[in-house]
Amino acid sequence: MTAVVRTREDLAQARAAAQGSVAVVMTMGALHEGHATLLREARKHADVVLATIFVNPLQFGPNEDLARYPRTFDADVAVCAAEGVDVIFAPTPEVMYPYGQPQVTVHPGPLGEVLEGAVRPGHFAGVLTVVGKLLLLTRPDLAFFGEKDYQQLTLIKAMVHDLELGVEIVGVPTVREADGLALSSRNRYLSESERRAALALSRALRAGAAERDPGAVLAAARAELTGLDVDYLALRGADLSEDPAGGEARLLVAARVGATRLIDNLPVHLDGATEKETA
């Protein structure tokens, strides 16, 4: 039986009753198979699984899609129940931020100001602040995050390490549709023609990942993105460091398809490195 709690007091009571290891999966709702995969992974590794559903206003800019972000709570509860979630914490903004706009937030550091951070100033401060608060409220042993938001995952790992929060952060590979499109709650915004156009992102990543020379990786990926409004195409180290010198790296892309902004990434194995990023 999946319990839904909405207050800090009820969450504390549910957490106190949890026996054994606890895993948390943090979501903004509008759950899809990608979220279900995270929940299944959490179920495999912990005795108790906690899911959070909260559309965090702190991570949305003034011209972003907070108001129209999909909210499908009843369907989300059904997904959680099907995956064996024990407790859903679904607070309101007033519960998460009882004193209003936080005066103190978690600064993401230099990595939070590039790639997504350059396009969405303040985004990662909002993400890390809510993730930090939810980790402290839920007190899990493990927390599961998808690799589709790779920069977010990297920053969360850094925050947990640097602030010694004592949680194991587990990354789970991106879940894709049969045609390669990375699953995202925002995919529902795409028209049929926009969805076909959006496939260029995964095609570009696959084309880049087939190469081993950094310049060839970027050139192959760039060739697939013709006609799209690209925010960035970047080749970084596995830790998102600049100038990957070889070995495991990450190819990341963000682009707008119609009014919808999509991100994606893939691991790449390099023989060497000469070029790092192109807009």
Bridge partners (DSSP) of residue 251 are 235, 266
Contact of 188 with 161, CB cutoff 8 Å: no
Per the residue annotation, which of 35, 107, 123, 269 is the catalytic one?
Answer: 35
Find all residues with CB under 8 Å of 274, minimum gap 6, and list them.
Answer: 213, 214, 215
Taking the mean position of all CA atoms in its chain, how far away is CA 107?
18
Provide the edge-to-edge strand list for the sheet that holds 87-89: 3-5, 87-89, 48-53, 22-27, 142-146, 168-172
Residue 155 buriedness (CB in 10 A; 0-12 / 13-18 / 19+): buried
Tell me whether residue 35 is one of the annotated catalytic residues.
Answer: yes
Taking the mean position of all CA atoms in its chain, how far away is CA 136?
19
- Spatial separation of the C-alpha atoms in residues 63 and 56, rounded to whole Å: 15
The three-class DSSP label of residue 99 is: coil
Backbone φ and ψ for 60, nearest 5 degrees, come out as -105, 135
Residues labelled as active-site residues: 35
